[in-house]
Amino acid sequence: MENKKDSTNYLHNVLLIGNPNVGKSLTFNKLTGLSATVSNYPGTTVDIDTGNFKIDGETIEITDPPGMYDLNTITEEERIAKLLLFSGDYDLVVHVIDAKNIDKSIDLTLQLIDAGTDVILVLNMIDELDRMGAKVDKEGLSAKLGIPLVLTSAANDIGLDELKNTILNYDDIKKNIDSNSKAKIVIHYGNDLESSINKVESKLEHRYDEMTNRAVAILLLEGDKDIRNTVKKHEKNYADVFSLVDSIEKEYDDPIKYLTKLQLSKYALYFKDEFTTINKVKPQTNDDFKEKLSRLMIHPVYGLIILALVLYFGLYLFVGVLGAGYLVDFFEDVIFGEWINPFLTQIVLAVIPWKPIQDLFIGSYGIVTFGLSYGIGIIFPIVSLFFIVFSILEDSGYLPRLALLTDNAFKKIGLSGRSIIPMVLAVGCGSMATMTTRTLETNRERIIATILMALTIPCSAQLGVIMSLLSSHPITLWIWLGIIIFNFIVVGLIAKRFVPGSQASFFMELPPLRVPKPKHILKKPGQGL
């Protein structure tokens, strides 16, 4: 970070990375306030947020890419976060992790340290750790990692000023840690792997700027396609490098990325045991209950019962009966039927003397009496209630569990459990859901999911009309639902048969279950509409 500081209008460029659900967006929003803007990564529809904050007369620019778990990326979004990480455009990385799940995320910090990246580690959700009665040895952990460490609770504005200061004074703080920490961690992947890494590293002639040559060698051995492209660009003898990598890969029974991950998770456990008391505190009854509920949600039988309850209460009773029934009736019959339409009809009749123009606004097909009253009267209540349900499911952490539950069934139609998220979103809005298919791993999965959404899943606007037509005879609703499910299975089986490509694998981290925050829930319908 040091060498670029001399230019007068220099902005510090910071990249914020972390797993989904660790509070990264909230940290970004709290740091940057109203300055944030959203743009797309060139050539993709992946959102990248940028913003800045000022401290001691300096401007710090922060970029918030999509969440990533590992340098070995799976989805396109993760890959873009990785491309930004190694783009050379950032002089400092802030890695946000969930303090309670340090063992699940710190392996990425270790990969970054090993790759020579300047990184600050942020342990967020420290309030939840406090509530558990657990502690972190902040100084010890920071000294062992050899990097600055900040404890935050973005939700409660704790530690954010310290984070800003640490970003500003990174160089001094880092120097101080380097001169004081005696036994800084050095990642060692075991003798066999280390000797393989050394062999590949010694074949690399170019000096890579954005990461160490060792990191390039590790990523090559792990089969990273992007790094292969980079190496192809820089190495004259890239063919020799690739053939060495390919021959080394054959010496191992397991994929090398599995072996490195295994080793890193041992380090991660060591850090959790050595520098936190998480394992020593008794889980709270509340956590016990959440743990049990979480297991039930992914159980093949109880999970389906919970899904049926969610569909019954969430979609049928809340969106269907309350939204499509009572609210639509109230909007149509009272708000528009008794108040707005008669009032506007009177005004139009008084102001516009000519019948064809009057008919444009009022009467059976008038813009106001027909267009507005159907658009607002039917669609608005249903879409709003749908997004309230969706954000409760999203914020509570139920959706990833649903993905795990449906994984087996979805495999039969060429998809993985991950596809449940666009599918549920498609009930809200098909176009938005189609955009979220980019989070799926393979092109094949994206195409099958899009075909299914386009042909079989009604969006909330269609749902509104269908539900309001059928809700007076509930049996017809069930017949309709049966037909939709039948269509879904048939179209899925046909798509699986004809869309080329290989079966997607499935890996998804389960975030902890949470009671959703009303503020977040009420924001969602606005975003959806």
Binding residues for ligand GDP, per CB under 6 A?
18, 20-26, 67, 124-125, 127-128, 153-155, 395, 514, 517, 520
Least separation in angstroms between residue 524's CB and ligand GDP is: 12
Nearer Cβ to ligand GDP, position 23 or 525?
23
Least separation in angstroms between residue 96's CB and ligand GDP is: 7
What the block records as the tokens of 509 is: 């981290």
The closest of 128, 127, 118 to 166, measured between CA atoms, is: 118
Least separation in angstroms between residue 391's CB and ligand GDP is: 10
What the block records as the tokens of 54 is: 């000022």
Least separation in angstroms between residue 184's CB and ligand GDP is: 28
Report DSSP letters for 212-281, one per residue. Answer: -HHHHHHHHHTT-HHHHHHHHHH-TTHHHHHHHHHHHHHH-SS-HHHHHHHHHHHHHHHHHHHHB-GGGS
Least separation in angstroms between residue 421's CB and ligand GDP is: 13
Looking at the DSSP assignment, which residues form a beta bridge with residue 92?
14
Least separation in angstroms between residue 268's CB and ligand GDP is: 18
Helix (H) or strand (E) holding 121: strand 119-124
Q: Which long-range contacts (CB under 8 A, 24 or more apart) does 266-274 make?
A: 267/106, 267/107, 267/110, 267/185, 267/187, 268/102, 268/103, 268/104, 268/105, 268/106, 268/107, 268/110, 269/103, 271/102, 271/103, 271/106, 271/141, 271/144, 271/145, 272/102, 272/103, 272/106, 274/140, 274/144
What the block records as the tokens of 301 is: 């039988």
Nearer Cβ to ligand GDP, position 122 or 426?
122
Task: Give the C-alpha separation, 64 to 51, whole Å.
Answer: 8
What the block records as the tokens of 50 is: 């940028």
Nearer Cβ to ligand GDP, position 81 or 429?
81
Least separation in angstroms between residue 382's CB and ligand GDP is: 25
Pure H helices in 412-516 = 420-426, 430-436, 443-456, 460-470, 474-498
The closest of 334, 321, 332 to 471, measured between CA atoms, is: 321
Task: Give the C-alpha separation, 218 to 129, whole Å.
Answer: 34
**Neighbour count for residue 207 (Cβ, 10 Å):** 9
Nearer Cβ to ligand GDP, position 125 or 348?
125
Looking at the DSSP assignment, which residues form a beta bridge with residue 267?
none
Nearer Cβ to ligand GDP, position 22 or 132?
22
Least separation in angstroms between residue 434's CB and ligand GDP is: 22
Location of structure tokens 């994929």: 255
Nearer Cβ to ligand GDP, position 153 or 437?
153
Task: Give the C-alpha separation, 64 to 94, whole Å.
Answer: 10
The answer to whether 44 and 65 have CB atoms below 8 angstroms apart is no
Nearer Cβ to ligand GDP, position 67 or 492?
67
Least separation in angstroms between residue 68's CB and ligand GDP is: 11
Nearer Cβ to ligand GDP, position 79 or 444?
79
Least separation in angstroms between residue 167's CB and ligand GDP is: 18
Nearer Cβ to ligand GDP, position 191 or 285?
285
Helix (H, G, I), strand (E, B) or coil at 154: helix
Q: What are phi and psi of 52, to 5 degrees?
A: -150, 165
Q: Which amino acid is at 15?
A: L
Least separation in angstroms between residue 415's CB and ligand GDP is: 23
Q: Which residue in the shown chain puts its C-beta closest to ligand GDP?
A: 23
Nearer Cβ to ligand GDP, position 25 or 73?
25
Nearer Cβ to ligand GDP, position 151 or 204?
151
